[in-house]
Chain A
Amino acid sequence: MTEFFQAHLGYGFGWFLATLILILMIALPLMLAVAMIIYADRKIWAAMALRRGPNVVGPFGLLQSFADGLKVFLQETIIPSAANRGLFLIAPVITFTVALVAWAVIPFGPGMVLADINVGLLYILAVSSLGVYGVILAGWASNSKYPFYSSIRAAAQMVSYEVSIGFVLISVVLWAGTFNLSGIIDAQRAHIFGIINGFGFNPLLFPMAVIFLISAMAETARAPFDLTEAESEIVAGYQTEYSSMSFALFWLGEYGNVLLMCALNAVLFWGGWLPPIDWAPLYAIPGIFWFFLKIFIFFFIFSWVKATVPRFRYDQLMRLGWKIFLPLSLFWVFLVSGWLMVTRYGV
């Protein structure tokens, strides 16, 4: 597409327009997906609590998220008089933007990626570590006790779990031999016995897949690790002082991050857009279908956990991150690299 625009509009302008259109082609469906996934989340949660969930707006309540969106859009934006005005307003924008920006390197199908860069995985790690700034700034700029507690909690929590996520990513990269996400998916083709696609089916990498799934929940502050917005302790956490669109941006950003983590689970361990079995007829179904199916399965797991597992205490959260996941994933990096040394490089 870039070539087509460049042929007709000149090099620079064609490139600019093509990139802009590609960005919109990712961002707009993503926003729609977030709206539907919020609905799905509420429905799954309701079903597990033997309730009906949203069922009034539109058929089966499908339009509930749009009604909510319209409602917050029409509300008044309240800025506390003691708040740090500029930072208070920019914090939700940071959360929302960071949640969108990471999608640039996710491959949706063979060749369907906006930026196919060599350091794709590092880019994801860099962008996801930026996400915490929105939360910290919101808590500090609100100039209020509970939001501040929440932002301190969020900072410690995200820094802690990023460490073990880093080690998990290293073992995947060691096995795939590249940081490029498309390259990682290609390395998973016919990984087990020459027919099954996906690192997750490898007994040596499966524990890492589990650690990554749990760390992803902690990193996105989803239940059972939602201590940043634990309503029984700190009201609504960093969002307490926010209203209308600034609140909605936090909400959208949060679910965008959850979807991103589900997509990363699919890409890193379960073959991304590859079908689960390396069998020619399955490739007739477009890759994007498999990818979305995997994302949805992971989202279902996220919802399931949210509906059934009670919230962690803060010291338990820190214990899990530093005393269990960190040593375990560090040990596993040694194990994986040792295994690869012996089997692949023969040293």
Chain B
Amino acid sequence: MGTELIQTIAFYLFASLVIASGALTIVARNPVHSVLWLILAFFNAAGLMLLVGAEFIAMLLVIVYVGAVAVLFLFVVMMLDIDFAELRAGFAQYLPFGMLLVIVLAAEMIFAVAAWNAGGVEFAQRLAPTPSEVPNIQALGTLIYTRYLYIFEGAGLVLLVALIGAIVLTHRKRGDVRVQNVTRQNMRRPEEAIRKVDAPVGQGVQL
């Protein structure tokens, strides 16, 4: 009875929940339920990251995927009216393509693990991604901002281009909407907005 037992229990809990919620993401009838299962899968994946000592990646996974991406995803799915029965009718049609994708992915994974095993990395080093006395964030930072600086900045540039592209594609100027000019509203004084009129009886006021 020790830390190992607790870690083993936690590992099997997280791992089985990731697989179960991943499967339920595909199987769920309601698209909103699907997204919620996906969120649970993200969450448990973050738990697995914590177990291997990558706490920074775990927190990022929750902040970025669960906190932002999935919220927007849920946002869109809730407003769509998707008929899943109709989608499922095309199941047999897409099956061969799907199987091909699965085979390619599985082959890549097996290949990666085999190559990793063949490499010269010590077993103990594989288990601990960073030397235990250096905090995770510091270890990542020293690598990203020195050795991989150009790749990192390149990735940032790609994201910036995607951001600008999305704005350009969706932004349109509409002529038929009245938009409030906030600065002008704030500059307005009562004297220019109100006028006193001595209205004659039975004639009303010209606006």
Contacts and interface: CB of A to CB of B under 8 A. Distances in A.
Interface of A: 10-13, 15, 87, 117-119, 122-123, 125-126, 129-130, 132-133, 136-137, 140, 148, 152, 155-156, 158-159, 162, 179, 315-316, 319
Task: Report which residue of A13, A140, A148 has the largest number of chain B beta carbons within 10 angstroms of its beta carbon.
Answer: A140
A118 B67 contact: no
20 contacts: A10-B1, A11-B1, A117-B55, A118-B55, A119-B55, A119-B56, A122-B56, A122-B60, A125-B59, A125-B67, A129-B62, A129-B63, A129-B71, A130-B67, A140-B78, A148-B78, A152-B79, A159-B68, A162-B67, A162-B68
A167 to B, nearest CB: 14
Contacts of B75: 136, 152, 155-156
Contacts of A158: 71
A162 B68 CA distance: 9
Contact of A122 (B3, B36, B59, B68): B59
Interface residues of B, number: 28
A122 B75 CA distance: 24
A195 B165 CA distance: 50
For A118, A152, A319, the residue with the greatest tally of chain B CB atoms inside 10 Å of its CB is A118
Query: Which secondary structure dominates where chain B touches chain A?
Result: helix
Given A12-B1, A12-B6, A159 B59 contact: no
Contacts, number: 74
Contacts of A10: 1
Contacts of A123: 59
B142 to A, nearest CB: 14
Interface in B65-124: 66-68, 71-72, 74-75, 78-79
* 8 smallest beta-carbon distances between A and B, as pairs: A129-B67, A122-B59, A126-B62, A12-B1, A126-B63, A118-B135, A11-B2, A119-B55
Which of B55, B67, B182 counts the most A-chain CB atoms under 10 A from its CB? B67
A130 B137 contact: no
B32 interface: yes
A5 B136 CA distance: 30
Contacts of B180: 315
B5 interface: yes
A179 B137 contact: yes
Contacts of B36: 87, 137
B136 A136 contact: no
A119 B57 CA distance: 10
Contacts of A15: 6
A211 B6 CA distance: 42
Contacts of A315: 180
Contacts of A126: 59, 62-63, 66-67
Given A136-B74, A159-B68, A125 B135 contact: no
Contact of B71 (A11, A136, A148, A179): A136
A11 B71 CA distance: 40
A133 B1 CA distance: 37
A8 to B, nearest CB: 14
B151 to A, nearest CB: 21
Nearest to B61: A126
Interface string B1-14: 11101100000000
B61 to A, nearest CB: 9
Contacts of A316: 182
Contact of B2 (A12, A117, A133, A162): A12
B1 A13 contact: yes
A133 B66 CA distance: 10
Contacts of A137: 36
A158 B74 CA distance: 14
A11 B137 contact: no
Given A129-B66, A129-B67, A136-B74, 16 more contacts: A12-B1, A12-B2, A12-B3, A118-B135, A118-B137, A119-B59, A132-B67, A136-B75, A137-B36, A140-B32, A140-B78, A148-B78, A155-B74, A155-B75, A159-B71, A162-B67
A114 B180 CA distance: 49
A155 B71 contact: yes
B191 to A, nearest CB: 23
A87 B32 CA distance: 10
Contacts of B5: 12
A179 B56 CA distance: 10
Interface in B42-68: 55-56, 59-60, 62-63, 66-68
